[in-house]
Amino acid sequence: MKSLNRQFAAASLSLALFLPAITFADNKADAYKYAVEGKEAAKKGQWDKAIEAFRKAVEADPKEANNHNNLGIALRGAGKLDEAIKAFSDGLEAEPNNSASYINRGVTYTTQQKYDKAIEDLDRGIKLNPNGVASYRFRAFAYLATKDYQKAVQDYNVVLKEKDDPAILDRRAFAFWNLKEYDKAIADFNAIIKDKPKDKEGYLDRSYVYELKGDLSKGIADCDKVLSLEPTNEDAKNRKARLEYKQKGALATPTPTARPRRTLPPDATPTPKPKKPGP
């Protein structure tokens, strides 16, 4: 897995669209109509059409934070990240304690690799809505990027209480091994391997942690497992040669001591159900 020191690929984020409650006021009704149009366009990936509709919703009812949030999500979908940031900021001007605006802006800052700003916004969003598990995912990812591994573990623990997820276990294991808590990292890789016994990445990563622990025979066994799945795997061949050399009490061969780590992008945010129209 590529080192987390490298820049992360931008995440492909799911929709998180909201429909404001409709009232008998003409501007509210118009805003709702445009929000419905925008949502349908966004579901089809028609971002330009969605942006146009959500802009009209904002013009009709600028005091509704969800209109700004929907516009920001569509702009983010179109790759217009700076404009998306402005839309979420406008949502906060309309409603200063809108948790969705903070979370959406924080997620967008994560995509821009502006991790300090992302953490600040996600902190605020979580304080306002501590039950939003997706917020912890993105904040943990930002903590990984800034090498605050202990805080990343704490956030991933929250996420894993909601649901076992091999991708999150993988990231938590990475944090554990950087904290030199090798047994905990191995436990997470054990769970990943149990879930995906034919995925070579778990074995490769676990073999490296075994190497760090000095448990050479188990590291070799993991390399052998990878080679049984993919006989030409260079990572496994190089590591096995190095570990066997170490078993003989000699210095390691000049193969790399750390296999580049594959980095997973943040998970997409879950798509909440649209709010039901009012009377």
122 belongs to a structural domain: no
Question: In the chain, which stretches have pLDDT less than 70?
Answer: 1-26, 250-279
173 belongs to a structural domain: yes
277 belongs to a structural domain: no
Residue 26: give the domain boundaries: 1-96
**Per-residue model confidence as pLDDT tens digits over 86-116:** 999 999 999 999 999 999 999 999 999 999 9
Q: Do the Cβ atoms of 35 and 57 come closer than 8 Å?
A: yes
**What residues contact 38, with CB distance under 8 A and at least 6 apart?**
17, 49, 50, 51, 52, 53, 54, 57, 70, 71, 74
Residue 172 sits in a domain of what CATH number? 1.25.40.10
Q: What is the CA radius of gyration of the chain?
A: 23
Query: How confident is the model at residue 113, as a pLDDT?
Result: 93
Query: How confident is the model at residue 275, as a pLDDT?
Result: 41
Residue length of the chain: 279
Query: How confident is the model at residue 18, as a pLDDT?
Result: 61
Q: Do the Cβ atoms of 178 and 156 come closer than 8 Å?
A: no
125 belongs to a structural domain: no
Indicate the residue among 67, 96, 125 that finishes a domain: 96
Residues 92 and 172 placed together within one structural domain of the fold: no
Q: Do the Cβ atoms of 16 and 125 come closer than 8 Å?
A: no
Q: How far is CA 217 from CA 121, 205, 220, 240, 263, in A?
A: 46, 15, 5, 10, 27
233 belongs to a structural domain: yes
Residues 92 and 6 placed together within one structural domain of the fold: yes
Indicate the residue among 79, 96, 113 that finishes a domain: 96
106 belongs to a structural domain: no
Q: Do the Cβ atoms of 38 and 50 come closer than 8 Å?
A: yes
Q: Do the Cβ atoms of 188 and 176 come closer than 8 Å?
A: yes
CA distance 125 to 129: 6
186 belongs to a structural domain: yes
**Per-residue model confidence as pLDDT tens digits over 177-222:** 999 999 999 999 999 999 999 999 999 999 999 999 999 999 999 9
Domains held by the chain: number: 2
Query: How confident is the model at residue 225, as a pLDDT?
Result: 97
Q: How far is CA 138 from CA 106, 123, 164, 218, 272, in A?
A: 8, 11, 17, 33, 17
CA-wise closest residue to 205 among 145, 191, 253, 157 = 191
CA distance 91 to 68: 5
Query: How confident is the model at residue 28, as a pLDDT?
Result: 84
Query: How confident is the model at residue 109, as a pLDDT?
Result: 96
Residues 4 and 86 placed together within one structural domain of the fold: yes
142 belongs to a structural domain: no
Query: How confident is the model at residue 253, as a pLDDT?
Result: 55
